[in-house]
Structure 1
């Protein structure tokens, strides 16, 4: 049972879902569950395994769902007495831990060209759930992207409008041209995302923004777009541009400054601050 439970947690995380592992770490006296009992709780409310059932399990499931929502691990400690929080008559006491497993971050690469291919390699290296979208069938080929989690071919705007995106999604728009970039950007602007970045020169970006404003898109929504995209570290080669984009994504994902580490953590040599 424990093996099946752990496999289900791994499968859910691989699919891009959140999950929690509940463990009873200490049991004193009479209790529905034994020390070491484990249970998987998933963000849709379903479970795998049991820690004994009853009101104890019901309350712990709710606590685990709250932990999943917050993205934070937590402990629990219940006295199983009639005057206790759970109003149970077992007479024992249980202590446990809820370990939250965050879903894999999604990297949505809109455009399967040279830059898209370099971004894909870095996305897989960083263990992100990597999706390639293009309106050219030959650019979403399994031979070109052998380890992509999803390859989507067709109308870019329609795909992005229907595709499930959330605050764990990082969208990078690097299509074959201005028109496709604009369609892709318009399709995701209303969604709550961790990151939207779009490739392009300042002129192309300015023209795209003007067109979208004329179509009723607010300036406030456009201000959340990272464009020109990436950190200023590349020579202009696709692999270096991709690295600059992924560095920018990591900066945002990890809420870091992006400064040189020697600026962040000053080193002392012989008592002197450098």
Structure 2
């Protein structure tokens, strides 16, 4: 059973879901569950395994779902007595731990050209769930992106209108041209990803924004777009531009300053704090 449980947890994480693993650490006295019992709890409320069933398990499942929602691990400690929280008569005590496995962050690369290819490599290196979207099948296929988690080709605007983006999604728009960039940006602005970045010169970006505003898109929504995309660290080569983009994404994801580490913390040299 434990092998099946861990396999299911692994599959769910790979699919991009949050998962909680419940472990009974200590059982004192009478209890429906035994120390070492494991249970997986998933975002949709389904479970794998058991920690004893009944009201105890029901309470633990709800606690695990709350932990998933918060994205934080937690401990639990229940007394199984009639006047306790669970109103059970077992007379025992159960302690346990809920470990939350966060879903993998999702990197959505819109455009499978040279820059998209370099972003893909970095996304896989950082263990992100990596998605390639292009309107050309020859630029969104397994031969070009053998380890992509998703490959989607078709009308970019329509694909993105139907694609689910959430606060774990990081979108980079690097399509083959101005018109496709605009279609992609229009579609993702209606959603709520953690990050939207778009490649382009300042003139192209200005023209794109003007076009979208004239079509009724709110300028407030455009303010959340990182464009020109990335940090100013590259020589202009695709691999260096991609590194600058991923650095910006990490800055946002980790809520970091992006400053030199030598400026962030005092450096200790030869026993002295500088």
Cα deviation for residue 269 of structure 1 reads 3.1
Runs of 4+ off more than 2 Å:
268-274
- Output the TM-score relative to the length of structure 2: 0.99
Match of 1:176 in 2: 176
Match of 2:15 in 1: 15
Take 2:175 and 2:259, find their aligned partners in 1: how far apart are those partners? Answer: 30
Take 1:204 and 1:271, find their aligned partners in 2: how far apart are those partners? Answer: 53
Structure 2 gaps of 5+ residues are none
Structure 1 gaps of 5+ residues are none
Match of 2:229 in 1: 229
Take 1:137 and 1:143, find their aligned partners in 2: how far apart are those partners? Answer: 11
Match of 1:261 in 2: 261
Take 1:142 and 1:210, find their aligned partners in 2: how far apart are those partners? Answer: 37
- What whole-Å deviation, never above 9, does each CA across 1:97-152 have from its counterpart, x for those lacking one? 00000001100000000000000000001000100000011101211111111110
Take 1:36 and 1:85, find their aligned partners in 2: how far apart are those partners? Answer: 22
Match of 2:37 in 1: 37
Take 1:122 and 1:106, find their aligned partners in 2: how far apart are those partners? Answer: 12
Take 1:210 and 1:244, find their aligned partners in 2: how far apart are those partners? Answer: 26
- What whole-Å deviation, never above 9, does each CA across 1:56-111 have from its counterpart, x for those lacking one? 00010000000000000000000000000000000000000000000011000000
Match of 1:194 in 2: 194
Take 1:106 and 1:139, find their aligned partners in 2: how far apart are those partners? Answer: 19
Match of 1:88 in 2: 88
- What whole-Å deviation, never above 9, does each CA across 1:204-246 have from its counterpart, x for those lacking one? 0011001111111111100000000000000000000000000
Take 1:271 and 1:65, find their aligned partners in 2: how far apart are those partners? Answer: 48
Matched, 1:76 2:66: no
Q: What is the RMSD of the two structures over their aligned residues, measured on CA atoms?
A: 0.8
Number of equivalences:
274
Take 1:21 and 1:208, find their aligned partners in 2: how far apart are those partners? Answer: 46
Matched residue of 2:148: which SS?
coil
Residues 72-151 of structure 1 mapped to structure 2, 5 A cutoff: 72-151=72-151
Cα deviation for residue 39 of structure 1 reads 0.2
